[in-house]
Amino acid sequence: MSANFVSLSATTQVKVGLGKLKGIFVSSGTAPTVAVYDSATASTADPIILNTFTAATPGNYVFTGDADGVGFSKGLYVVIGGTTPKVSVFYE
């Protein structure tokens, strides 16, 4: 299966259902933050895949392991912060 991608500038429910987080690229922003949850309902109460971090700009974060990606079962919810962040999320 090939990876999908979405470009974000705000918090977004990227996918509902089973999948894999392949990577995150942060191209710009002032103090951009990213957090990722295994959620189908845009909830930060669901399991954390990736705790909030302040990303380098530009910054490329590739997730390997478990056959090239971090698995999630409920969905992929990405919380974006900072000023004018531009974030690309790669997933299956």
Contact by Cβ (8 Å): 40, 17? yes
The per-residue pLDDT for 1 is 63
pLDDT in tens, 12-39: 999 999 999 999 999 999 999 999 999 9
* pLDDT at residue 61 tops 80: yes
Query: What mean pLDDT is reported for the chain?
Result: 95
Amino acid (one-letter) located at 42: A
Does the pLDDT at position 62 exceed 80?
yes
